[in-house]
Structure 1
């Protein structure tokens, strides 16, 4: 019963009964474990945070930015935070779009994909000429509807790649509906860690993104 950890008690009359319960409750168990891991990441980050003053000033939100992240690019209504490590890097993008950019029709996933591809072409370039970040065309992203900061949010998970290059990796894109300010606030995290596990790095990105608080 050490903290932090989750303990699940599963009992049944026989093996089949226990397996049936596990299958029935698996999504709930996974969701609980993931939520706990994100909270633990947030607790660790609090010990050495990077200033979010520029984020507050530009977007009216606070964000718990973990140690090692630096402001890689700051433009009008666009911020790129990056943390480099031995085998790659983590990135967080912050920007906003009008509500109609996401909700112009019923094809939300296509609208979000087009939006992030446009942002990638304008801002996220490779070292080679004529290279920029796009959503990987070979695999359709997954779309979920969740709540972040008690606001309706579209969570998109997929793979990014550099057009005309060979770099790629996973991304998580949170489009948070901010009706009061007539916008979708976009918080996106993506990682580049070739040939190595990316799980913990993605958890770190989600921990930072889910710490968001709206100040106005």
Structure 2
């Protein structure tokens, strides 16, 4: 249940950011012109050291440093840097993500945008004592994480849009456009399958685009089993691996939830892939978009092979790319 609430909140927060809505974000009186900075998924937390070492710090770490879903090893949702009020000055205020703990007669959580820099999300958690602040953090966990993650998704999309790869053939053949950098090259282009890959220092990042008939997923109510069967069938045929097949890891139960992409209903699946008979694998995210105008599910998948390297931030990049999908209207 907690996973479903968090994933749902992530979708809601992304939609709010995309539509430009502002919740609990009264405009600041002064004009902010400084550009924000900071590493992806890194947050400045402003609180005193005794709070950081006590109940409030424990509650905050339970929210911000809980494991990221769908990765083979535990990586925190965010990398946290704790600062006191005295050291929270100058460039430290210009970070993109900030959470401030304040003492107040009232207990609550406020979400503010562009307080010290642009773009920026500032979360203010307040209460009369540590117990109240810890409770506010716990009760608002899903919204806090979703709001911060939406900011980072937007930032990653901004970064990757600076030097985009051409997607004419993808649009013509598959009826969808994606925004991804020129660092990705086309590894395969056929009449029913596209594969793009980007080299890392160790390993690579990958994007697949293909389509399946509606019945491939809608045939029965066991959706996750149908999606696993679908991706195993395509992966084993389309991804060349010497001496093995590219399939879904069965020891790790994938996460599944309903979502929307480009206004269409979709299934979002996160899990681990492997190559059978080999010690090779990594995380994947799969979006199966129901495109009834073409009687198909359009499938967008990102997966990573990067042994011994952290994968959280690279998975965010794949998320950011896949969520730029724009499906064209079929010609009559």
Q: TM-score range by the shorter chain?
A: over 0.9
Query: Which residue number in structure 2 is paired with residue 82 of structure 1?
Result: 197
Write out aligned runs for 1:22-171 (5 A): 22-126=137-241, 128-129=242-243, 131-171=244-284
Q: Distance in 1 between matches of 2:223 and 2:246?
A: 20
Q: Is the 8 A contact 1:42 1:207 kept in 2?
A: yes
If you compute each CA radius of gyration, which structure gives the higher value, 1 or 2? 2
1:174 aligns with 2:174: no
3-state DSSP class of the match of 2:324? coil
Q: Distance in 2 between matches of 1:174 and 1:108?
A: 13
For residue 172 of structure 1, report the CA deviation from its aligned partner: 0.2
Query: Which residue number in structure 2 is paired with residue 190 of structure 1?
Result: 303
For residue 161 of structure 1, report the CA deviation from its aligned partner: 0.5
Q: Distance in 2 between matches of 1:118 and 1:69?
A: 24
Higher RCO structure, 1 or 2 (CA under 8 Å, sep 6+): 1
In the alignment, structure 1 segments of 5+ residues that lack a partner are none
Q: Is the 8 A contact 1:79 1:94 kept in 2?
A: yes
Query: Which residue number in structure 2 is paired with residue 16 of structure 1?
Result: 131
User: 1:133-188 deviations in whole A, cap 9, x for unaligned?
Assistant: 10001111000111111111110000000111111100000011111111111000
Q: Distance in 2 between matches of 1:36 and 1:213?
A: 21
**Root mean square deviation, CA, Å:** 1.0
For residue 212 of structure 1, report the CA deviation from its aligned partner: 0.5
Once the two structures are overlaid, the 10-residue window that deviates more, 151-160 or 26-35, is 26-35
3-state DSSP class of the match of 1:7? strand
How many aligned positions are there? 214
Once the two structures are overlaid, the 10-residue window that deviates more, 168-177 or 20-29, is 20-29
Q: Distance in 1 between matches of 2:194 and 2:230?
A: 16
Moved over 6 A (4+): none
Q: Is the 8 A contact 2:264 2:290 kept in 1?
A: yes
Q: Is the 8 A contact 2:200 2:306 kept in 1?
A: no
For residue 125 of structure 1, report the CA deviation from its aligned partner: 2.3
In the alignment, structure 2 segments of 5+ residues that lack a partner are 1-115
